[in-house]
A and B are shown apart, each in its own frame.
Chain A
Amino acid sequence: MNRFGYTRAGDVAEAVHAAAGDDAAQFIAGGTNLVDLMKERIAAPSRLIDITRLPLRAVKSLPDGGLEIGALVSNSDVAYHPEVASRYPLLSQAILAGASPQLRNMASTGGNLLQRTRCYYFYDAALPCNKRAPGSGCPARDGVNRIHAILGASEHCIAVHPSDMCVALAALAATVHVTGPAGARAIEFAEFHRLPGDAPERDTTLQPGELVTAVALPREGFAAHSTYLKVRDRHSYAFALVSVAVGLRMVDGTIAEARLALGGVAHKPWRDPTAEALLRGQRPDDALFAAVGEHLVRDARGCGHNDFKIALVRRAVVRALQQAVAGGPRA
């Protein structure tokens, strides 16, 4: 690790103040990704601003019927929170499908949003990578790209976002609350992460010095008909090759509202409202589900080793929709 300064902030204002004017400073909470990146010399912050003492550990009901999760609530505490488990089982399932219990105990809600890709080339400082060293090139395109993106990639970057939790948050249409030098603002989840374009070094739309303070869930949690289906090389403790988060609101056997997001396929959780629209007002049907899967990959492009993901998405979407209709992964 590089040598760095250390500041322990007592409240949000102090943390934001400590970060202002130093673009090389970074906030740290769970540290499960950042400390690892520092050991690999992929991250070399001038200063770490320890935010773990900030009062952002509450899970509280919102006046609109939603639920607010403080940025420092651990992934474990979110997954096992009674309100989350009963009202947003999709979110609990997604969190518990990721990492290990030790990592989930450490990792924060805000940090999960900000974790970086596990692209092997990003992690290997001896090789070029446009995300790590802008303009240096992307060896993944013509290299080993089995885990890489099939949707929304650019010539500059084919990395995927690694989070499971964020795929559920995309399907649930969460809101991210942040505070920065210019004050507080709310970001719709679909707008929080970005596609690589010509600036793959930027994973999110956060502005310099902005701190994630909370994630808010809307009232509708699709508890009766949701699932998180994760396909991976190992049964546990592995990143998704493809994952599907589905939430359905069923009325008299008809899909009144559908939410669907994909993980493991793009630089951000992939939500396509036009695919959701195909389901609305329809009765559950395997041919319909197959059409939705086909629609989702209409613009998909493989790079060679990851071509299989296109077929995998089609099939995983069908199975996930079947599971959601039936009431969940084990129904």
Chain B
Amino acid sequence: MLPGMGDDTCAITLKVNGSTLRLQVAPWTTLLDLLRERLGLTGSKKGCDHGQCGACTVLVDGVRINSCLSLAVMRDGASVTTIEGLAEGDALHPLQQSFIEHDAFQCGYCTPGQLCSAVGLIAEGHAHSEDDIRELMSGNLCRCGAYPNIVAAIGQAMRPRRDA
């Protein structure tokens, strides 16, 4: 059984964007709500809150998931990376830079989820063509319809840069 469990809340440890946090959470708190409401990390968006739009996508132990369908208490001990944790100081993550270069967003609401999802996609290593990127980004909806540029931005980030 879980030590430190009270009637209503449980003690958990989470590493969020590199910082280790000790938190007391109610079991019905989703990871998304914890990030946004408790930790002030509002980059991850609550779009549909049902795992359909992908705007809440974050990386847990390097794996992309829908944080809206994840209970925070069940992630005790995990390492979470959100959009706020992708850049290294002022140096943007290559995918962030590529999204800017390709104009891969319009309103920007889905972009944090798109970026975290794309980081996960590249780490998974199963995308070998633009068709693969489209298929493996299908869990992230963009109501502005920026898909062609999103695919191009991810495609560029997957290729080694010649000027690097």
Interface of B is mostly: mixed
In the assembled complex, the Cα of A21 lies from the Cα of B100 at a distance in Å of: 56
Evaluate contact between A101 and B69: CB separation under 8 angstroms. no
A58 is an interface residue with CB less than 8 A from chain B:
no
Within 8 A of A (CB), among B114-164: 117, 120-121, 124, 126, 134-140
Number of chain B residues close to chain A: CB under 8 A? 35
Of the listed stretches A27-35, A218-226, A246-254, chain B binds A27-35
Evaluate contact between B74 and A101: CB separation under 8 angstroms. no
A100 is an interface residue with CB less than 8 A from chain B:
yes
Evaluate contact between A6 and B27: CB separation under 8 angstroms. yes
A1 is an interface residue with CB less than 8 A from chain B:
yes
- Name B127's closest neighbour in chain A (CB-CB): A101
Among B5, B70, B139, which residue has its beta carbon within 8 angstroms of that of A101?
Answer: B139
Q: How far is the CB of A115 from chain B (nearest CB, A)?
A: 12
A105 is an interface residue with CB less than 8 A from chain B:
yes
Evaluate contact between B65 and A100: CB separation under 8 angstroms. no
Evaluate contact between A36 and B65: CB separation under 8 angstroms. no
Q: How far is the CB of A118 from chain B (nearest CB, A)?
A: 11
Evaluate contact between A6 and B10: CB separation under 8 angstroms. yes
A3 is an interface residue with CB less than 8 A from chain B:
yes
Evaluate contact between B64 and A102: CB separation under 8 angstroms. yes
Number of chain A residues close to chain B: CB under 8 A? 31
Evaluate contact between A101 and B66: CB separation under 8 angstroms. no
Residues of the B chain whose Cβ atoms lie less than 8 Å from the Cβ of A8: 1-2, 76
Within 8 A of A (CB), among B86-119: 117
Q: How far is the CB of A116 from chain B (nearest CB, A)?
A: 14
Residues of the A chain whose Cβ atoms lie less than 8 Å from the Cβ of B69: 31-32, 35-36, 103, 106
Evaluate contact between A105 and B28: CB separation under 8 angstroms. no
Residues of the A chain whose Cβ atoms lie less than 8 Å from the Cβ of B2: 6-8
Evaluate contact between A106 and B66: CB separation under 8 angstroms. yes
Q: A52-B74, A106-B70 are in contact. Are A101 and B51 (CB under 8 A)?
A: no
Binding site for A on B (CB under 8 A): 1-2, 5, 8, 10, 27-28, 30, 49-51, 54, 57, 63-66, 69-71, 73-74, 76, 117, 120-121, 124, 126, 134-140
